[in-house]
């Protein structure tokens, strides 16, 4: 049994970066706020300079932390996540930019403990770090942590940077993977997904078309579309056979 069991249910709602319309994105508060309002939670993972997996979307710290107010970091602009040690990241506040409530950086470790405790499913999106860390190292660190915490059954791994995906499968064949795609579908899509050993395809909403969805479903792939905040559009996508949608707007 693994994450794929949730696809037995139709019309899945995924909390994009947690309940990010109510709490600061990709924080523990955003995860907690998602519970009971969605079928799974999507988070973005990157590595700190000293190789700790942390949950943050942008590859720089300016938008979602208070780093611009901190004088000792001023000369380190543009504040790349991968240039900061975990200890430095822990000194920042990731909540106040959103709702004036302090919030520490969320680690993948804490997110996985949370998933286990609440028995919620997590889509862990691995952000591209190929300029800074070797692909093998990134994947090994993330998978080792998931395995050490025995959270394999609750996780779906995805990435826009597709070379990570077969490495994930080689390391952990039982953890499902998804190909994230924007701009245009890859050539020979089905063959491409087979080559990557992917289980699911996550296209952006504007490239998603009914014919491609039908073909993906017929060939055994699961399809989750990002980011769909409009409920009428969600319904249309579900009527095409899309399994799930990522949304910023959770009801409830
Ligand atoms: O995983 C779906 C979605 O999160 C992909 O886009 O840029 O929001 O991480 P982004
Ligand atoms: Mg994401």
The alpha carbon of 143 and the centre of ligand 1 are apart by a number of angstroms equal to 20
pLDDT digits (tens, 9 = 90+) for 186-232: 999 999 999 999 999 999 999 999 999 999 999 999 999 999 999 99
Distances from the Cα of 9 to the Cα of 125, 156, 157, angstroms: 22, 16, 19
Which residues fall within 8 angstroms of residue 173, CB to CB, at 6 or more apart? none
pLDDT digits (tens, 9 = 90+) for 86-97: 999 999 999 999
* Tally of residues, the chain: 252
pLDDT band at 1; cut points 50, 70, 90: confident
pLDDT for 97: 98
Domain assignment present for residue 70? The answer is no
CATH number at 175 reads 3.20.20.190
pLDDT for 252: 82
Domain assignment present for residue 115? The answer is yes
Q: Ligand 1 pocket: which residues have CB below 6 Å?
A: 16, 42, 44, 57, 125, 158, 180, 202, 226, 246
CB 45 within 8 A of CB 55: yes
The residues facing 43 across adjacent strands are 124
pLDDT for 155: 98
User: Average pLDDT over the chain, rounded to whole?
Assistant: 98
Closest-approaching ligand to the CA atom of 55: 2
Element (H, E) at 194: helix 189-195
CB 16 within 8 A of CB 226: yes
Domain assignment present for residue 242? The answer is yes
Domain assignment present for residue 96? The answer is no
Q: Give residue 197's domain range.
A: 6-58+109-247
Q: Give how many domains the chain has, as a whole number.
A: 1
Residue 83 in tokens? 């240039």
Domain assignment present for residue 98? The answer is no
pLDDT digits (tens, 9 = 90+) for 22-39: 999 999 999 999 999 999
Domain assignment present for residue 204? The answer is yes
Domain assignment present for residue 30? The answer is yes
Domain assignment present for residue 82? The answer is no
Task: Give percent above pLDDT 90 in the chain.
Answer: 99
pTM of the model: 0.98
Best residue among 180, 201, 225, 248 to mutate for probing ligand 1's pocket (most ligand atoms within 8 Å of CB) is: 180
């Amino acid at each position: 049994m693994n994450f794929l069991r949730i696809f037995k249910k139709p019309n899945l709602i995924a909390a994009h970066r947690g309940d990010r319309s109510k709490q600061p994105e990709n924080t523990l508060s955003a995860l907690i706020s998602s519970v009971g309002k969605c079928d799974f939670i999507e988070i973005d993972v990157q590595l700190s300079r000293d190789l700790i997996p942390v949950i943050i979307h942008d590859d720089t710290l300016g938008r979602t932390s208070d780093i611009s107010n901190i004088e000792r970091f001023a000369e380190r602009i543009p504040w790349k996540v991968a240039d900061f040690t975990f200890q430095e990241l822990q000194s920042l506040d990731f909540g106040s930019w959103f709702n004036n409530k302090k919030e520490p950086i969320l680690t993948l470790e804490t997110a996985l403990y949370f998933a286990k405790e609440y028995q919620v499913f997590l889509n862990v999106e691995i952000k591209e770090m190929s300029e800074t860390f070797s692909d093998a190292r990134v994947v090994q660190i993330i998978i080792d942590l998931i395995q050490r915490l025995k959270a394999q059954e609750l996780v779906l791994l995805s990435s826009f940077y597709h070379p990570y995906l077969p490495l994930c499968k080689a390391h952990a064949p039982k953890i499902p993977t998804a190909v994230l795609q924007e701009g245009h579908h890859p050539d020979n899509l089905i063959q491409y997904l087979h080559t990557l050993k992917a289980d699911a395809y996550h296209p952006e909403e504007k490239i998603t078309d009914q014919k491609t969805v039908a073909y993906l479903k017929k060939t055994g792939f699961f399809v989750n579309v990002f980011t769909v905040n409009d409920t009428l559009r969600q319904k249309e996508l579900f009527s095409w056979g899309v399994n799930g949608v990522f949304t910023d707007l959770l009801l409830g």
